[in-house]
Amino acid sequence: MTRLKMLIDIIARHAPHDGTFDGAIPGVKLLRSSTPTMPMPVIYEPTVCFVAQGRKQAALGTTAYIYDPARYLVASVGLPVMGSVIEATKAEPYLSLQLDLDLPVLGELAARHPLAPDEPVALAMGLTLNQTNPAMLDAVVRLASLLDEPRDIEALAPLTISEILYRLLTGSGGIVIRHMTQADSRLSQVARAIVWLRKHFQEACRIEEAAEIAGMSRSSFHQHFRAVTAMSPIEFRTQLRIQEARRLMVSSAMDAASAGFHVGYDSPSQFSRDYSRIFGIPPAKHARRLRIVTTDR
């Protein structure tokens, strides 16, 4: 059995039906879907996603990142994206393993294995795709296989996770990981602003305050924020507001006007315009449709 088939087998057994599963390994989630899914808004926390079978797309702004068994996705900051499974069947469901990125461990590894003096340091994007080489796949399979040996998890999982993080750090996309571990890097500065925006997106606060949190001038902040997130700070806040409003309308049955007001809109018409621009459908109509889909499931 090839290493990839082993990974498919393990995930399929521990994720026996569609959904997301928190396994016995801290920081590890398994995902399964037997059908393609509608684009859904989600916050990608700092994480790495390995696909065993099928294909998924994460849309950030106007850029689509498609990952599959040949490519893994790294999210270095908490970004609002539109995620959708684009290749899956009942016979061959989408199967993936998601690993949270442990910044203290990454920082220690980066300090022990620094860049060569002549290696270029460029500004990193918030989402990146990297090729899944045999060494990385082998480490991911060994991590997943610990689900079959729960007594070994405490002793061996930290070692295997460290190996995966080391391979992330020293691989083709390692510069992104290094930026995450450096408090004075532009990525880390933007990440601090993102954390602040996610806490205060409902408030009528000035975006300039986010620039102050990042420790940048207004013009520099806007430039680097867009480079990392593919959107302006205002667009980022709008995405957060619209995602939360959608959640409130679907899960709490809140009406569109109340949801818009709750997430920070003073104008119902502005809320409806922003919502329609992002989802292509007015908020009340979209909420009714999503409730029907959720009920049918």
Based on the fold, state whether residues 191 and 170 are members of the same structural domain.
Answer: no
**Does 100 lie in the same domain as 191?**
no
In the chain (297 residues long), the average pLDDT of successive 10-residue segments reads 94 96 94 93 90 95 92 90 95 97 84 68 75 96 97 96 92 78 78 90 86 91 88 92 90 89 93 91 84 55
Is 172 in the same domain as 210? no
Give how far Cα 23 sits from Cα of 9, 10, 30, 46, 146, Å. 15, 12, 7, 18, 10
H-assigned helices in 55-185: 103-112, 134-145, 153-170, 174-181
**Same domain for 48 and 164?**
yes
Whole-model pTM: value is 0.84
Which residue type, as a one-letter code, is found at position 198? R
Q: How many domains does the chain have?
A: 3
pLDDT, tens digit, for every residue of 235-260? Answer: 999 999 999 999 898 888 888 989 99
Whether residue 154 sits in one domain with residue 55: yes
**CATH number of 265's domain:** 1.10.10.60
Asked whether residue 254 falls in the same domain as residue 212, the answer is no
Examine the domain organization and report whether 189 and 248 are in the same domain: no
* Amino acid identity at 54: G
What single letter denotes the amino acid at residue 21? F
- How many Å apart are CA 95 and CA 101, to the nearest integer? 20
| Radius of gyration of the chain, Cα coordinates, nearest whole angstrom | 20
Query: Does 132 lie in the same domain as 76?
Result: yes
Q: Do 93 and 102 meet the contact criterion of CB atoms below 8 Å apart? A: no
Domain membership of residue 190 as a residue range: 183-228
Q: Is residue 7 located within the same domain as residue 144? A: yes
Q: Are residues 249 and 143 in the same domain?
A: no
